[in-house]
Structure 1
Amino acid sequence: MLGGIEFVNKEFFWLFLLLPLLILWYVLTHKKQTAELKISTIKGFKLTNSWLPKAKHALFVMRLLALSLVITALARPRTVDVSTKTKTTRGIDIVIAIDVSASMLAKDLLPNRLEALKVVASEFIKSRPNDRIGIVEYAGEAYTKTPITSDKAIVLRALNDIRYNTIIEGGTAIGSGLATAVNRIKDSKAKSKVIILLTDGVNNSGFIDPKTASELAVAYDIKVYTIGIGTNGMALSPVQILPNGNFRYERQLVEIDEELMKDIAKATGGKYFRADNNKKLEAIYDEINQLEKTEVEEFKYSKYEEKYRPLILLAFGLLLFEFLLRSTLFRSFN
């Protein structure tokens, strides 16, 4: 396609190879058709400079242009206006449960675990235009940051507003976080219900056992993808809030209850991932994005407008003009 125009029968462009042969034929035959008179002198003859003999070549040029237009018309040029409509045939409801305990400020991911997660989760949300998404925060207790909604602006704003704060009880209540996420999505009418549960620690708080929460997810046919975030070994982690409000950091051992996270994922038909750096975290969300595909049916409408008619009319006009000139102005040269 060139300039919004496509050619249906491109094979006719091979006919342009005839044009050099026609030009060669014209040059050779023109020399043979031109009469020559040899005389010893032209004294006594009145000389006139006429432009007609030279202009006669324009007749041949017109024929070549007309032939070129006909070849182009045979190639059938047309413009295509394509419009599409999409219809979501299978929606997915997703709740992202985020651990916001103090340990999420550890700097083994840059600039820290929580901020790295927010960047990656933001791109994930933007890549799910046809799904509804909600967010749950949890530390020592859990609450809903935003219910599942199709308004991505609300979800992205809620995600961006997530901060570590001392209002939420300290600790890591994985069971409470999962149970709250289940409660948010259990009554969904979507064909597929998914929870992405992220933590960087072990369950050490809350009143709901994580295995009980996972059984609730199974009962409501909810798939849970679990992510353990944090490097293997030691990480620079906050250990104390200083009088000026800043944190004092020390190297601490990273403890993630991977067996628990694997059990939750396996029981609900999900998958467990370990993110020990920024790139791995990004890759995990990309994989989940591929695993949970929303089925979208696309309807494409194409409107074609043929463009060969003006070329044929122009070619016919050139041939007619050439015939009139040959029959009148250039008649004496035939």
Structure 2
Amino acid sequence: MSSSFMHPHFLWLLLIIPIALFWHYYIKNQQEVALKMSTTEGLSAQKSWLIKVRPYLFLLKLVAICFVIVALARPRNTQKSNYTDSTNGIDIVIATDVSGSMLATDFKPNRLEAIKQVAQTFIQKRVNDRIGLVVYAGESYTRVPVTSDKNMLLNSLKEVQYNGMVLQDGTAIGIGLGTAINRLKDSKTKSKIIILLTDGVNNLGSLDPISAAEIAKAYGIKVYTVGVGTNGTANFPVSKDADGNIIFQPQKVEIDESLMQNIAQITNGKYFRATDNKKLEDIYNEIDQLEKSKITENRFMMFDEQFRPWLLIGLFFLALEMILSRTLFKSFI
């Protein structure tokens, strides 16, 4: 709840008060006639309280005017309330590569964990959208169908990890994109988005990535593609030692950027290259800005008028001044 004035321009009238005071106590005094007397001995009697109080009658009138001016400005307490009447949200599927190369350490702590961290922030921002999660390597599967349950989605995202026992290792970009399309093709929303992330080249799968992109276009699905990997070389996992620890070796980073650009172009999306954690975060922020949900929001304002007490007090003081000036102080000049 907040306080405001309906007609605040009336408060400018308060400038009359200092002007009136100046006129009353300075200009008016210059108009009084001086009376010279040889002695004031006969006038030395004690002044009555009426004589002392009478100059304050004018102040009483000014106070009354102040209250009336404030009442004219219409003070009121304002209580605002709003609710979302309808939303035109976006259905989004995040399709991320979880092949063994996603454990490369050119991102901190590695590519897969960096993607999960940034995706988590992105999901939390998209409060009006439904989001799903697809993971792929040599094969793909839907980890979370398109849902508005962000808590379930975030919990599932945290559990995503490379596991060669679940998915065949490799990079089947076409299969991953195709699975994401299946989650969106029957969606009734006007905007359908896939964020497709990979760190390699398409080397497995029965569905060609370009063919998958054409299918996405037919269903009105826009694909934002993201190539994940630094320029040059990075430490890739190559094997495990006797204790089960992953052994890393420097290898050249290879991303089929031409393919990713073509997929984005066909579907009217955009291709991004993430070379470090900060760039990956910036990419998600840019996608967040490019794809905004439309929200219709109704706002209500309740007003509690407060001018009546000000007006009543002002009229009371004004009436009191008029009564006193016409009764107790009527005989004073």
User: Shared fold (TM-score greater than 0.5)?
Assistant: yes
> What does residue 261 of structure 2 align with?
262
User: For 1:9, which of 3, 7, 10 is the aligned residue?
Assistant: 7
Are 2:174 and 1:175 aligned?
Answer: yes
State how far apart, in whole Å, the 2-side matches of 1:88 and 1:132 are: 15
Are 2:63 and 1:65 aligned?
Answer: yes
What is the Cα deviation at residue 297 of structure 1? Answer: 1.9
Query: Which whole-Å deviations, capped at 9, do the CAs of 1:200-249 have from their partners, x for residues lacking one?
Result: 11112333322232233233232211110111112233333334443333
Code of the residue aligned with 1:284 in structure 2: it is I
Q: Conserved in 1, the CA contact under 8 Å of 2:87 and 2:128? A: no
Identity %: 52
Code of the residue aligned with 1:22 in structure 2: it is A
SS of equivalent to 2:203: coil
> What does residue 306 of structure 1 align with?
305
Q: Conserved in 1, the CA contact under 8 Å of 2:226 and 2:274? A: yes
Q: Conserved in 1, the CA contact under 8 Å of 2:71 and 2:310? A: yes
Normalised by the length of structure 1, the TM-score is 0.87
What is the Cα deviation at residue 199 of structure 1? Answer: 0.6
Moved more, 300-309 or 166-175: 300-309
What is the Cα deviation at residue 317 of structure 1? Answer: 0.9
State how far apart, in whole Å, the 1-side matches of 2:49 and 2:235 are: 92
Moved more, 60-69 or 104-113: 104-113
Moved more, 216-225 or 235-244: 235-244
Code of the residue aligned with 1:68 in structure 2: it is C
**1:213-292 matches, cutoff 5 A:** 213-292=212-291
State how far apart, in whole Å, the 1-side matches of 2:203 and 2:52 are: 100
C-alpha spacing 1:241/1:50, structure 2 compared with 1 (3 Å): farther
* Structure 1 gaps, min length 5: none
* Structure 2 gaps, min length 5: none
Code of the residue aligned with 1:268 in structure 2: it is T
What is the Cα deviation at residue 254 of structure 1? Answer: 1.1
What is the Cα deviation at residue 134 of structure 1? Answer: 0.3
Q: Conserved in 2, the CA contact under 8 Å of 1:88 and 1:130? A: no
State how far apart, in whole Å, the 1-side matches of 2:60 and 2:321 are: 7
**1:131-142 matches, cutoff 5 A:** 131-142=129-140
What is the Cα deviation at residue 30 of structure 1? Answer: 5.6
What is the Cα deviation at residue 306 of structure 1? Answer: 3.2
C-alpha spacing 1:244/1:65, structure 2 compared with 1 (3 Å): farther
Q: How many residues align?
A: 331
> What does residue 102 of structure 2 align with?
104
State how far apart, in whole Å, the 2-side matches of 1:88 and 1:104 are: 40
Q: Conserved in 1, the CA contact under 8 Å of 2:196 and 2:226? A: yes
SS of equivalent to 1:96: strand
Code of the residue aligned with 1:287 in structure 2: it is E
State how far apart, in whole Å, the 1-side matches of 2:238 and 2:37 are: 113
Query: Which whole-Å deviations, capped at 9, do the CAs of 1:175-212 have from their partners, x for residues lacking one?
Result: 22111111222222222221110011111233332223
Code of the residue aligned with 2:57 in structure 1: it is L
What is the Cα deviation at residue 132 of structure 1? Answer: 1.1
**1:67-86 matches, cutoff 5 A:** 67-86=65-84
SS of equivalent to 1:273: strand
C-alpha RMSD of the superposition: 2.7
Code of the residue aligned with 1:11 in structure 2: it is H
SS of equivalent to 1:269: coil
> What does residue 18 of structure 1 align with?
16
Moved more, 312-321 or 302-311: 302-311
State how far apart, in whole Å, the 1-side matches of 2:96 and 2:35 are: 98
State how far apart, in whole Å, the 2-side matches of 1:289 and 1:22 are: 60
Code of the residue aligned with 1:139 in structure 2: it is A
Moved more, 155-164 or 252-261: 155-164
